[in-house]
Amino acid sequence: MGSCLSSIEPYSPNQAGSASSPTQEQNVAEAANSVASLPMTIKDVEDFRQMPGYGDVQTFTYEELRLATKNFRPDLILGEGGFGLVYKGTIDDNVRPGFEYTQAAVKRLNPDGHQGDKEWLAEVNYLGHFSHPNLVKLIGYCCEDEHRLLVYEYMTCGSLESKLFKKGCTTMPWLTRIKIALDAANGLAFLHGAERPIIYRDFKTSNILLDSEYNGKLSDFGLAKEGPMGEQTHVSTRVMGTFGYAAPEYIMTGHLTARSDVYGFGVVLLELLIGRKALDRSRPSREHNLVEWARPLLVRRKRLFRVLDPRIRSQYSDANAERVARLASDCLSQNPKARPAMSEVVAVLRAVLRDEAGLPRPGSEAAVTLYEAPKEDTHSPAAAGTKGEAAERS
């Protein structure tokens, strides 16, 4: 996975460049306080081709991306999902004269797969429009003839899935896990807080990517969809997503709400707590499905401490581990209405992180605030909302 460090530094609240650095804190806080507005509805690729373009999102030719990835060289493959293979690429003066050296991840549609224009458009439409510190940046795309590619900022440390589960990777410390959970929760809360909520629909460890400082960002918006509006209680869709993460009521009825994402978040939180994959067929059959096996244990104190990831045993305070376990249990409630909103999840995780990192509480003399906005900026919608808004300002 690229040039990622082989050991994982424990999250430190004073770490330069971490999400607690003043600028990042401010970015997250500003983004949290801004309301994302909706991208335009684009029917299909033909409709898309009529559009003038998306702010600073670049249009690449197939030839440029072929050059950037050294003809899609197999040793540059970073990963693979339902859409196709993802390659590490370099875009510079050799690819396009005058282009500043940029490392990128280039995702190419597999024409023989199950995904296509719909998923490609969803990614361009949402990621091309939103700008948030916990969403991966879309640098550009290619839509030439039958080619469909996406070019993202390169996330040096790859996916949370690989860092948490790949053999040979150093154990990810407790505080780092909580910090990444908070980052991902911030990303989801931003989407759910949009003018018309956006439902991400495929929340899982392989879609949470990590930069060189282990900041977590959501990627892969192929299944993202506009949520219910006004009187609507849900939107009806074909059931899509990933087994092990999809909410039970969504699987049964196809009714999609923001609370379906909260369930997926609960599964990831459980994976972080227990250190096991959502589905693991190498375990005894009653332990195959992590949620079925572990959810009942989350609210039983003694049993909880027996199942928490033994590799991080000495790193958490019992009270905070219980708090996170209760949060996971609430997110995984069978009743979608009983699940917390992502903004509430953010508040709990932020409090746990503050507590575990031993930081002073807000209000105390020497308070170091994590993720809180300076007062004068709190209602600035253009602060970090959408690229459109940012463009209007400049």
Ligand X SMILES: Nc1ncnc2c1ncn2[C@@H]1O[C@H](COP(=O)(O)OP(=O)(O)O)[C@@H](O)[C@H]1O
Q: Which residues belong to the active site?
A: 202
What are φ and ψ of residue 344, in 5° steps?
-75, -35
Measured from the CB atom, is 82 or 388 closer to ligand X?
82
Q: How many residues sit in the footprint of Mg ion (CB under 5 A)?
A: 3
- By CB under 6 A, residue 86 contacts ligand X: yes
CA distance 380 to 12: 29
Least Cβ distance, residue 204 to Mg ion (angstroms): 7
Of 168, 192, 128, 135, residue with least CA distance to 390: 128
Q: Which is nearer to Mg ion, 136 or 304 (CB)?
A: 136
Q: Is 107 annotated as a binding residue?
A: yes
Among 13, 39, 158, 197, binds ligand X (CB under 6 A): 158
334/247 Cα distance (integer angstroms): 8
Among residues 166 and 301, whose Cβ is nearest to ligand X? 166
Q: Report if residue 222 touches ligand X, rule: CB under 6 A.
A: yes
- Of positions 220, 271, 330, 356, contacts Mg ion by CB under 5 A: 220
User: CA angle, 55 as apex, 52 and 56 as ends, to 5°?
Assistant: 120
Radius of gyration, alpha carbons of the chain: 21
Residue 51: C-alpha distances to residues 42, 44, 259, 262, 266 (Å): 9, 11, 33, 34, 38
72 to 111: interface string for Mg ion, x by CB under 5 A? ---------x------------------------------
Given the rule CB under 6 A, which of 91-99, 204-212, 251-259, 278-286 is the region that contacts ligand X?
204-212
Sign for the CA dihedral angle at 168, 170, 172, 173 comes to: positive
DSSP label of 69: T
Q: Is 82 in the site for ligand X (CB under 6 A)?
A: yes
Question: Which listed range, 47-55, 153-161, 238-246, 380-388, lies at the site for ligand X (CB under 6 A)?
Answer: 153-161
CA 126/CA 129 separation, integer angstroms: 5
Which of Mg ion, ligand X, none does residue 79 bind to, with CB < 5 to 8 Å depending on kind? ligand X
Report the binding-site residues for ATP: 107
Annotated binding site: 107
Which residues form the interface with Mg ion (CB under 5 A)? Answer: 81, 207, 220
